[in-house]
Chains A and B, each alone.
Chain A
Amino acid sequence: MLDQFLWGFFPYIVLTIFIGGHIYRYNHDQFGWTTKSSEFLEKKSLRFGSVLFHWGILFVFVGHVMGILIPKSFYDAIGISEEIYHTMAIGFGIPAGVAAIIGLAILVQRRLTVKRIRLTSSKADFLVLFLLAIVMLTGLASTLLNVDSKGFDYRTTISPWFRSVLMFQADPSYMVDVPIWFKIHIVAALSIFIVWPFTRLVHVFSMPFRYLGRSYVVYRKRMPKNHQL
């Protein structure tokens, strides 16, 4: 029953809130859509913490895409063996995870000990850090406990489950025998997706990519409504 809920219904609740929440937030809180940068208040430890965390998490994200979203059959087809895949995953994944965790630790420490940061923090800021810490610690723990890949293969359990969710044919049976660390990791990650639209995390969707293709000089039309090409 719990399995049915956690791996059958819950992801869709999360997805609904995640997507709907972002649309709602974007439409109703334009000025709250921000990274809430606190660099103005403290720079030194942010420089290390933020860079380590963000680059770390980026690599971790790419790793997740490679391991979860892309099916094992794809790798088999292009000739990447289980062994090579695993070596690559561990070789890149652990340093990236460690970097992100160190970064996060610095950020947590900074938020707690620098008075002006602490006083300007909202509860949501602490909540985000807390959830991130759980997700990342459980994620790294799962990876480390699974170094030799002899016992458990997430590419045959978690990955198909995840893809089944995305295909709206969620199959909780994939998840029944997954070790507890992975389960905590997944539930915590889903929790982050729930709070995501309502926290500073929305900044993930505000990467300034347009900037790359923009002309040097930009004229903004005064009356965009009446514009006709």
Chain B
Amino acid sequence: MKEKSPLFKRLKYVKPIERHANDHSEVTYGDRDWENVYRRRWQHDKVVRSTHGVNCTGSCSWNIYVKDGIVTWEGQKLDYPTTGPDMPDFEPRGCPRGASFSWYIYSPLRVKYPYVRGVLLNMWREALKEHKNPLEAWKSIVENPEKAKRYKQARGKGGFVRAEWDEVLNLIATSLLYTVIKYGPDRNVGFSPIPAMSMISHAAGARFMSLMGGPILSFYDWYADLPPASPQIWGDQTDVPESSDWYNSGYIITWGSNVPMTRTPDAHFLAEVRYKGTKVVSISPDFAESTKLADDWMSVKQGTDGALAMAMGHVILKEFYVDRQVDYFINYVKQYTDFPFLVTLKKQENGQFIADRFLNANDIGRKTTNGEWKPALWNDKTNTFAIPNGTIGSRWEDKGKWNLHMVDEETNESIDPRLSLLGIEDEIVTIQIPYFSHEGNQILERAVPMKKVQTETGELYVTTVYDLVLANYGVDRGIGGNVAKTFDDAIPFTPAWQESITGVKRELVIKIAREFAQNAIDTKGRSMIIVGAGINHWFNSDTIYRAVLNLVLFVGAQGVNGGGWAHYVGQEKLRPVEGWQTIAMARDWQMPPKLQNGTSFYYFATDQWRYEDTPVGQLVSPLVKEARYQHYADYNVLAARLGWLPSYPTFEKNGIDLYNEAVASGAKTPEEIGKYIAQQLKEKKLRFAIEDPDNEKNFPRNLIVWRANLISSSGKGHEYFLKHLLGTTHGLMNDDKDSLRPEEIQWRDEAPEGKLDLLINLDFRMAGTALYSDIVLPAATWYEKHDLSSTDMHPFIHPFNPAIEVPWEARSDWDIFKSLAEAVSKLAEEIGMGPVKEVVATPILHDTPQELAQPLGKVKDWSKGECEPIPGKTMPQIHVVERDYTKIFEKMTALGPNVVKAPYGVKGMTWSVEEEYEKLKKTLGTVSGASVANGCPDISEAKKVAEAILTLSSTTNGRVAVKAWESLEKKTNLRLKDLAAEREEECFTFEQITAQPKTVITSPAFSGSEKGGRRYSPFTTNVERLIPWRTLTGRQSFYVDHELMQEFGETMATFKPILQHKPFKKNRPEIEGKEITLNYLTPHNKWSVHSMYFDSQPMLTLFRGGPTIWLNKDDAKEAGIQDNDWIECFNRNGVVVARAVVSHRIPRGMAFMHHAQDRHINVPGSKLTNNRGGTHNSPTRIHVKPTHMIGGYAQLSYGFNYYGPTGNQRDLNVIIRKLKEVDWLED
């Protein structure tokens, strides 16, 4: 029947109306089709569970709604397993940023096709016509200075043209193989951060790079999110409680952490726990969102948090350790910290002492293996020295003594460790303690009880760590020294002393410290400190952290649910870690991967090292005569040379050529080749690439960036990136004419520009990195692929599922790298490339027996003749790796046999996954045919990769968890596997976690327990099950005795002021009217997650729609700036232009530019550079800290994203002034 037209239906004026109830009601028969519009508004064809792979630690589960083949909106999933009857649940999780994601899929920013810059593509097409061999064609471009300059200078200036996938892949493959052959595989570099946020996508590129022999770069340290204090104290990268554990707390301090802004989906727990009576204290310079939740606010001057923490520590030590003793605290620090361990004292010429290194088993005359690695303490029960179980020496002896039972490892006598030597001392002596201040560094003279120890080599003087710490904090114990009689004595480190530094009133400091400690007594340690980026992005953030973390250790809060530290800075817990790392690092085919620390790489690659001007000598301890080197880069060379840090590109020669040379000289086995390399190095016939980073032989040649926005978001020292790495137009106002000159590095007057041959970016949006890339590959979004995501904020693993087919010509990251692998293999076949062998150097690694390489923390430099170069001991380990580039594709898409053949495990534990490997052959199917992967499980698709990871990991497969615990049981002689036994039968599948989130299984890969629905809190298995920390003493460290830590005066927690930085040293642009100099900070943004969402229309509508800088109203007035004025903000590193947000919320002296405000949204020009203002990173650069480069020594040994210099950028000042003229440069 034909529908009646609306008009016809309407024409019923004469029809009688049916009325009821005395005409009070009537019945109408009008058209109701209009209702369907409202009905259809929320109708959809399909709902799919996925999440957002964004660097926010949210890992929230979402419903993705599809209608007519279009993703229409997303909604929060509400089916998280409950946290139990007495606690709020996790649901709903999400934030406005994630809720608006679907905008990107169809936005104008979407990258839909492969793009190559026209100038490059034309050259390439022409070169291919002239040369038969693609490698020759590529050579004719990159080795031709004029041509190379032409396409490199075009970077960032548009000009992209669409290209065919095959053509682009062939171009990339050619450049990669050209580099492998000409310069070495380690000149191809990959960068992608935070695997946990989309681990298959990360693994795709990491696996490809590892098979190619290309290094992948770390990110946690480069982002300055890694807290080096964590490896220093715990030997653990970072381990934190999930957000629901806040609800177990009795007292929470949020310290430099803005929970509602950066942990939006979790913030409700912080709000809710207050209804239980928990007190919340905010420590933040500005009135932050988290401050609104607080009962007390300590508005501390930015960067001085260390002083505040030291003063709080002073109060706690004085009142809860010296004036009275609390059993809970005493028992805790005796068993779980290094407080009772003995430290030797070095006598100075004036009769005073300096703390040196731990007293060890050899010193007390024990005949034992690894004696230098077994620190000693005093046993009150026997009145003798003792070596307790659990030291790092016992860890690698494998005698089952590696546990925290307080017994002597040799005599088995029970130990009552003595905290202080006071009472049994031979003498009270004066100890010198370094003190750092802008007014000049000083030496503090303090008293400790000292005991003499007779050793074979002579007399040693010792005291305990506890005695040292009390002296360090200036606590008066009645034994003399320059200590504080009362809290009102303004000497380090009292509440009165900190007042002039931090601006916080002493009474408040004393009050909060007392409350914090008293709550720990009342609740058995449920005092928590949530620490955040506000105190973590400084040059000296590790000293701030150590001062803060000491507080939770003093009060026995660490390893207790509801207590301890909660570091939420970029940390994302990759739960199924073993399976993931096997696939991501291609360990199933070969070892070792090249895992480069990101900061060092970028420091040299972008030539920021050329612009240093503060000599290291100004920063070292007043107790040392002078710094080892004056230039930071020299320390990095030292670190590379001694095997402390990785260093790729490693040698100034191609690793393949080096292998051939070694073989030609008669070396055969890897050991002989290692010896050959060592000899060459010693005779200075071979140099490290890092000794000449500006030599074109040592440039990184290809950089593949995926899941990241390096240029514009994380690229600190933005203008240095543009100038030196990319060789394009930049806004750098600095020069290196009179900068510091290094000793260990060859200085080249002419700094290179445009080191990279290709910058290749995979992304779904045209952000900063894509705009500066030579090649942009269209990636799938989070609603278009299979992947996995996990976080430290909750214990679930979430799947990504495709809601729609990948649109346009985009492909998932897995598929892109798969096709790239195919292109490389095809090309290798074409050019007849046979298998090659390569010399690969790796640093001395944490969690391996190698961490016992360099005893006593003494620096022995073979290049100075202080020792012999021995691979894996005094220099990097040398490996030989075979690579067959024709087989990259076959290996990429199959799970190789080394899963079973090579050691499998994590954190120094190994176990067999043979059963699981066999199972995967059945569930995934196997590869058959003439392939190296014949018979191996097929992982050609992302979903299969996910299944393999879930099956192979202890957090997601109960059987593997039990095996892992059994492995640790053997090492520790403890009963542990009950932690996972009740879930042994469980094995997560992709379908299961798509149906509903599942809580992970307790595994020794992490330090907390989820057993029985318990909330995850770190180090609870250490405390409750007596598993040692992976440190020198096996305990939590107050004292770190490495020689370099002494050089920088950081053996113990202390206060260090922020660096004194001037915006300009010379060549300052002319002063134009009013201006103001402010400390430049780049905290997290409310309306974006780093650069993601910053350019999305839904988010831009929420706040001013473009770049902004916040400043105090009085500072603004002084500079004649009004709210919403355009301002320019600059220093020697570059200039950024933004609108001013004038607010009383910001204290005076600082400017906030929320990162990461990308440059493609609304940026006018600046007369300073005659270009558009830069990014939030234009006025920044990094400052590398030598203590972060220590290696080869117990917990201070290298691990990927575990240790290494941070890319910190906060200790900087900028000049801010009103923009004279807003020029959009559009004519």
Contacts and interface: CB of A to CB of B under 8 A. Distances in A.
B248 to A, nearest CB: 48
A31 B27 CA distance: 24
B16 A229 contact: yes
A108 to B, nearest CB: 28
Interface string A24-39: 0011001100000000
Contacts of B18: 229
A163 B783 CA distance: 66
A219 B37 contact: no
A214 B37 contact: no
Nearest to A210: B13
A27 B7 contact: yes
Contacts, number: 48
A224 interface: yes
A218 B28 contact: yes
Interface string B536-566: 0000000000000000000000000000000
B838 to A, nearest CB: 61
A26 B6 contact: yes
A43 interface: no
A220 interface: yes
A221 B7 CA distance: 18
A217 B25 contact: yes
Given A27-B7, A30-B6, A227 B29 contact: yes
B26 A219 contact: yes
B29 A221 contact: yes
Contacts of A30: 6, 33-34
A23 interface: yes
A215 interface: yes
Contacts of B398: none
Given A31-B37, A229-B16, A229-B18, A217 B5 contact: no
Given A224-B30, A224-B32, A218 B25 contact: yes
A215 B19 contact: yes
Given A26-B6, A27-B5, A30-B34, A224 B26 contact: no
A210 B23 CA distance: 15
A217 B32 contact: no
B19 to A, nearest CB: 6
Contacts of A220: 27-30, 32
Interface in A1-48: 23, 26-27, 30-31
Nearest to A22: B7
A224 B25 contact: no
B872 to A, nearest CB: 68
A217 B26 contact: yes
B35 to A, nearest CB: 9
Interface residues of B, number: 21
B130 interface: no
B24 to A, nearest CB: 5
B31 interface: yes
Contacts of B19: 215
Interface in A109-161: none
A216 interface: yes
Contacts of A31: 34, 37
Contacts of B16: 229
Interface string B893-930: 00000000000000000000000000000000000000
B20 to A, nearest CB: 8
A26 B7 contact: yes
Chain A interface helix/strand/loop/mixed: mixed
B501 to A, nearest CB: 49
Interface-central residue, A215, A220, A229, by most chain B CB under 10 Å: A215
Interface in B200-221: none
Interface string B1016-1029: 00000000000000
Nearest to B13: A210
Contacts of B29: 220-221, 224, 227
Contacts of A214: 26
A219 B27 contact: yes
B5 A221 contact: no
B7 A219 contact: no
Contact of A221 (B24, B28, B34, B37): B28
Nearest to B25: A217
Contact of A216 (B5, B25, B31, B33): B25
Nearest to B32: A220
Contacts of B5: 27
Nearest to B8: A27
B1094 to A, nearest CB: 23
Contacts of A218: 25-28
Interface string A201-229: 00000000000001111111110100101
Contacts of B37: 31
Taking each of B27, B30, B37, which has the highest tally of chain A beta carbons within 10 Å of its own beta carbon?
A: B27
A27 B6 contact: yes
Contacts of B30: 220, 224
A139 B490 CA distance: 89
B22 to A, nearest CB: 9
Contacts of B28: 218-221
A17 to B, nearest CB: 16
Nearest to B34: A30
A25 to B, nearest CB: 9
A217 B18 CA distance: 12
B27 A221 contact: yes
B23 A215 contact: yes
A215 B26 contact: yes
B6 A219 contact: no
Nearest to B27: A219
Nearest to A31: B37
A227 B30 CA distance: 11
A72 B780 CA distance: 77
A222 B32 CA distance: 8
A31 to B, nearest CB: 7
B1007 to A, nearest CB: 55
Contacts of B33: 30
Nearest to A25: B7
Nearest to A214: B26
A217 B6 contact: no
B27 to A, nearest CB: 5
A131 B589 CA distance: 78
Interface in A58-88: none
Contacts of B34: 30-31
Given A23-B7, A30-B6, A31-B37, A216 B32 contact: no
Interface in B1-52: 5-7, 10, 16, 18-19, 21, 23-34, 37
A221 B28 CA distance: 6
A5 B33 CA distance: 43
B1097 to A, nearest CB: 14
B32 A219 contact: no
A77 to B, nearest CB: 33
B28 to A, nearest CB: 5
A23 B18 CA distance: 28
Nearest to B12: A224
Contacts of A216: 24-25
Q: Which has the most chain A C-beta neighbours within 10 Å: B6, B23, B37?
A: B6
Nearest to A224: B29
A221 B31 CA distance: 9
Closest 7 CB pairs of A and B: A217-B25, A224-B29, A215-B26, A27-B5, A219-B27, A26-B7, A221-B29
Interface of B: 5-7, 10, 16, 18-19, 21, 23-34, 37
23 contacts: A23-B7, A26-B10, A27-B5, A27-B7, A30-B33, A30-B34, A31-B37, A214-B26, A215-B19, A215-B25, A218-B25, A218-B26, A218-B27, A218-B28, A219-B27, A220-B32, A221-B29, A222-B32, A224-B31, A224-B32, A227-B29, A229-B16, A229-B18
Given A31-B34, A217-B25, A229-B16, 20 more contacts: A23-B7, A26-B6, A26-B7, A26-B10, A30-B34, A31-B37, A215-B25, A215-B26, A216-B24, A217-B21, A218-B26, A218-B28, A219-B25, A220-B27, A220-B29, A221-B27, A221-B28, A222-B32, A224-B29, A224-B30
